[in-house]
Amino acid sequence: MTQKKDAGILAVDVGSGTQDILVWNPETTIENCTKMVVPSATRILARRIEKETLEGRHIFLTGTTMGGGPCAAAVRRHLRAGLRVFALPKAALTFHDNLDKVREMGVEVVRNRPSVSPLSELVMRDMDLEAVGAVLERFGVSLPPMIAVAVQDHGFSPNASNRRFRFSLWSDLLAAGTGLEGMLYADPPPHLTRMLAVKEQVPRAWVMDTGAAAMLGALLDPWISQRLEQGVTVINIGNEHTVAALIKGSKLWGIYEHHTSLLSEEKLEDHLERFRRGRLSGEEVFQDMGHGCRVVEGTAEAGPFPHLGITGPKRGRFPGLGGHMAAPFGDMMLTGCFGLVEALQRTISACPKPADRV
């Protein structure tokens, strides 16, 4: 059966390892909605760069700002192989918000296609809506009118720590007193350049932070939702970042963020225990090369947020944490997509809703 063209939401959660895709249709059960888990845009680009490296071709990066990680590592390897990398300014901002830093990497920032040979042109972007639409069309599924995309945006910070700047976004969310859906934007602010780049590619898209989307989606797991009034600690252990939140009822009490690769099980367990009790400082986390930690006033009294819900592709690295392995609607990898749909439903009165939630 072909989905109606005037119904549903395309939710795309763009990570460093995979991009997870849900075509949510309010007229069918969530289990029967179309879903895909495919390689992330940065991994696809990294493989293309590696191919050019093996073939001895210089590369010219066009397009716009996107997620780095694997593609940035591939660029460094390409340069070490003695080959040249050219990039338009917007594409170059993928590697650092300060273009002088990008040039120090060895990337040549240019305004036009250089006259060198052999040269391959590669497009940088987080969201390839044409490719997604083409795959869906082969299975008789139309692109829904509403689109939501989650990316991790550190924020534009050319001369200061992007870790501090990113965590200031979480601090602003806590100060505003809104829920995790407060990280969903129809029109992202100017400093969220990666989200703005997605809007350039897909103008009608809503954009959201991946960490917020994943944690909001995890709250839809029945085990977690049934314990919200008692207080929960929900954590998304991603390929690159680990983000945790303290939630009681409908109130967001605290946020913690670190780099997954720098966390041992012992360290994460200690951080979570002190975070829950309002005894972990943001500066300690930052000095440990993480992003930060912040709780609102009264957290110690509201705590200790005893129930732990865990999601994310790297959660298997920390088996000793205990807690509940969240899998909303039986699908952990789509947690961020479910969070996107939930955020839209909480934010937009015109968002389609079924008889029950998500």
Q: Decide which of 72, 92, 124 is a domain's last residue.
A: 124
267 in a structural domain: yes
Owning domain of residue 287: 223-326
* The pLDDT of residue 2: 35
119 falls within a domain? yes
Q: What is the CATH classification number for the domain harbouring 252?
A: 3.30.420
Is 65 inside any structural domain?
yes
In a domain, 164, yes or no: no
pLDDT reported for residue 7: 67
Mean pLDDT by 10 residues, the chain (358 residues): 59 95 93 96 98 98 96 98 98 97 98 97 97 96 95 92 94 94 96 97 97 97 97 95 96 97 97 96 97 95 94 93 94 96 87 54
DSSP H or E segment with residue 274 = helix 265-276
pTM across the whole model:
0.93
Would 63 be classed as within a structural domain?
yes
Asked if residue 181 is part of any domain, the answer here is no
Structural domain total, the chain: 2
Cβ atoms of 258 and 290 closer than 8 Å = yes
Structural domain ending residue among the three candidates 124, 152, 185 = 124
CA pair distance 240, 260, nearest whole angstrom: 6
Would you state the pLDDT for residue 354? 54
| CATH number, domain containing residue 115 | 3.40.50
The CA distance from 182 to 45, in Å, is 31
* Tokens 């944490």 belong to residue: 321
Alpha-carbon distance of 139 to 161, in angstroms, equals: 45
**Domain final residue pick, 92, 107, 124:** 124
Answer yes or no: is 120 within a domain. yes
